[in-house]
Structure formats: structure tokens, C-alpha cells
A and B are shown apart, each in its own frame.
Chain A
């Protein structure tokens, strides 16, 4: 439906007996993400809301079931989502040095019919948005990645990806903050630390921030 493009439908569903998932849309889209972050921030200010986490285009709201019901929180979400979100300040800009020598750079280059140098050039071109921080501590979903670099995830995920690996999958890119299993294609590495356990918040990137990669030797 065309109408869906201009005014995405708000979909609010229970996520257990003390939480709701409010989906603002289904597309990877900066405007939707900005609205989700603003909605989560507005909900967090409510006394009956314990936690509100923005996803790409959604907000997961955990509420105090002694103070609120699914209906009362859903009504608050609808009211807040109908408001025009405040003009979002541009997020902080991070410049991240990357050595483009990841274990998958050759295979990615072959599959995309590009050279490793071209991959680095295309990957460093945009300023990416931090759509959301989550999955593992300090991990940030960055995008949108250029279409020329779009590939599905690896068929068989690696059981251990080294910390600092710069990776791509679909229209997204990211940096593994900790050694974890992972199914994305590893094209490079950075020495910048993303998970800062002794800082609060314990991560470099926050939702809404901007990230620019630049190529560096070793």
C-alpha cells in the first residue's frame, strides 16, 4: 500500500505481562530511527516506565505492572508517537581508523567483483548512523551500507570473531567489541575500543551518533 510509505502504521503488541513492543515501521530508515529514539526518551521520563529501548524502528517498553497496564502504556505510546518528534541534534561524530585486511576481504572482493582497495574506498565514503547499540556490550548497528557492498550473512557463522573486527552484512556494518561468535563478513580491524567497562555509559557509541571510517596502514 502506498499510504504505508508516508505514514507508517504504529503496531503495539504485548511482550509478556510487563512489556510492550511498539513498532513504528519496518524499514531501515534514519527518520524512523530518529522517531524511535525520541519516543524511547519520552517514555523513559514516565514514572510507570522502567525501561524504554529504541530498536531500528521500534521501542521496547518495560513498565511497572503495579502502576500501569498494557492499555495505559499503549495509550501513552500512541499519544507520544503522534507528536512531532523534537528536532534531533546531530549525533556526535566518531572518526575510526580501519586497516582493511580482514580475513574475508578477498572473498568479499571476489563475490562483489571489486578489488579490496575499492571495498575500502566504498566503505569509508559515507558517514554512518548508529541505529542502535545492543546485541552484545558495545556493539553498534551502523548503516546504511552502500548497495555495492550488500551481501547476505555468512552461511556458517564463525564461533569466535576477534575484538576490533570491522564487518559488513546486508545494508549494515559494525565493529565487534568483544571476542564473540559472529556471522558477518570481516573486512578490516580497528584498535579503537568500543566497550569501556569502567566508563558510564560503558560504550563509545550511542544510538544516534555518526561514524566515519578512514583507511590506515597496520
Chain B
């Protein structure tokens, strides 16, 4: 274990995340993990890590970090204006930090969550098979809590690939984060909405309310009225759009409750979840219905982008 980064300022809410703990769902423990799995995976691949390594998820603002030891890092996801030693630093690129170098962030320019990967992977507590931070249980990640000033991050081991700086992920390979269209597949309880309600769901603009966190986003917009008897609780997935009694839909995100009984009228597809993860309270979005075939094409296109980082050395 090599100390690599010292936290000078933690940022608003910076946690250690990986790809989550799906095997704990049957105990009621949320799967968790990075909200924007694409940006998390890309950051890891850019520094030669496997996507399963832990990264830092920086919410709404970035931390100030000082390199204790030379290391290769990559910053992806939201644009919080990254700098190294005061000079602008490129995002979506493997960058080398020498001992004593300072990584800082300025003002938020776009998106909600930036990811910082370190070659070798951030060392963290493993809980129920994952390094992700679970705040409710205060387990996993960095002692089960967000980062604080003075914390020192270590790396888990040597990266699998030689750590080479300068590798970059082109914009054409990333999700179109500026397009706030969330493609979704009709949900299992869509027929509980009237035809008019279905039209609203898939056409009307909705806005992310202030009640938006890693568990999910309450959406503001036209009220949706569902009919039918109460449902028995069933297992939920990220991206599910639930309609509670007040008719204001909830989009479930990474730390969503594992089971619930509200009708699920749509499910945002996996290729659109990174876009959802980068929305802030007040942002407008639209749900657009697509079929499974189109969702699969979208997912594969993003995976091809990630695969190009796996194979390539500098493309």
C-alpha cells in the first residue's frame, strides 16, 4: 500500500465508489456504486485499471488533492475545471502527477459528478464484495464516509497495464451529456397510466427537484395518475421510474431502495443512466420511449468506446 494522494479539501461530497454490491440486494442493502458507471469505467481504463477498481466520485464540486507519491490519474464525468499546479488539466485523459503536485478544481462548468481514478486503484474498505461507500451502514469505501481534509488515499496495487500518460477518450466515444433526453423502455405497470398520462410521461418536460441524491431524483412536472390496486412489493432496478400516490415520478438511482410497491411506468435504459447521473436539481429532462433493440444498440456503442481504451495504447 503506497500513500498517493492527500486530501487538502474534500469538496462538497466525495466518496469512494466502484461497480456496486449486487449480491447484497437480498439483504435489503442497495447495490450502490458509481452513479455514472461510464465515466467511472473510462477513468479506470485511462490509467490502465480494470473498471472494477474504485474511483473517487466528486459531487457538485471537486476536492483539492496533493500527490504524496508520483502517480497516473484520470478525471472524467462532470467538468469542474480541473487544474494541476494552477494550470488547466485535460479531462478524459491519463495525466501524470509527480510527488508534491496539486490537483485542484475550480467552479462547476457542467455535470454533477466527476470521477478521479488512480493507476492501481484507490484502496478502500471492502464490504459485502464491494469497495463502494454505503453511508447508511457506514461501511465500505473510505471508512464508510465521505472524504475529509487530511485523509490520505493509498493505492491497492500495481495497475494491470503499464501506466502511460496522455491516453485520451475522444468526445465522440462518450455519452452525449448535453442532450438531456433520457431514453426509456415502457415499464411493467405502464398500463396503469391513462393514454393521456402515457403521453405526458413520454413527452412533457420534467425537472429534477431539490429532492435528488444518490438514492433517486424526485421529478417535477405534470402529475401522473395511476389506477389499479396497491401492488405487492417487488425488486427494483436503477433507472426505474416509479409513480407514488402524489403523481410526481421518482427516478431511481444507484443507492435506490431494493424493493418497493409503487407502479414502475418506465425504466431509463443503461446507456442513458450516465446522462441521468450528471443532472442537477433544476435541470430539465425528457423521457423518450424506445424499444429494447434500440437500447441494446446504444449500450453496445458505449461499450465499444470503453473497449477501445482497453485495447488501445494512445488512441
Rounded to whole Å, the gap between the CB of A2 and the closest CB of chain B is: 18
CB closest chain-B residue, reference A178:
B136
Q: Is the Cβ of B27 less than 8 Å from the Cβ of A14?
A: no
Is B277 an interface position by the 8 A CB rule?
A: no
Given A13-B188, A17-B299, A201 and B27 touching (CB < 8 A)?
yes
Per-residue interface assignment for chain A, residues 195 to 212, with 1 indicating a CB less than 8 Å from any chain B CB and 0 otherwise:
101001111001100000
A137 in contact with B185 (CB, 8 Å):
no
Classify the secondary structure of A's interface with B: loop
For the complex, is B226 an interface residue (Cβ under 8 Å from A)? no
A48 → chain B closest CB, angstroms: 14
Query: Are B235 and A17 interface neighbours, CB within 8 A?
Result: no
From A200, which residue of chain B is reached at the shortest CB distance?
Answer: B128
State whether the Cβ of A118 lies closer than 8 Å to any Cβ in chain B: no
Enumerate 19 A-B pairs (CB-CB under 8 Å) in ascending A order: A14-B267, A15-B187, A15-B188, A16-B239, A16-B240, A16-B270, A17-B296, A17-B299, A53-B258, A56-B232, A57-B232, A60-B235, A134-B26, A134-B259, A137-B29, A195-B137, A201-B24, A201-B27, A203-B28
Residues on A close to B: CB < 8 A? 11, 13-19, 21, 23, 26-28, 50-51, 53-60, 62, 65, 69-70, 132-139, 141, 170, 177-178, 195, 197, 200-203, 206-207
For B239, the chain A residues whose CB sits under 8 A away are: 16
A139 touches B188 (CB 8 A): no
A60 touches B237 (CB 8 A): yes
Cβ-defined contact, A133 with B27, below 8 A:
yes
* Pair B128/A55 contact, Cβ less than 8 Å: no
Q: Which residue of A lies closest to B190 (CB)?
A: A13
Which residues of A lie under 8 Å from residue B23 when comparing CB positions? 51
B-side contacts of A23, CB under 8 Å: 188, 234
Cα of A60 to Cα of B239 in the assembled complex, Å: 14
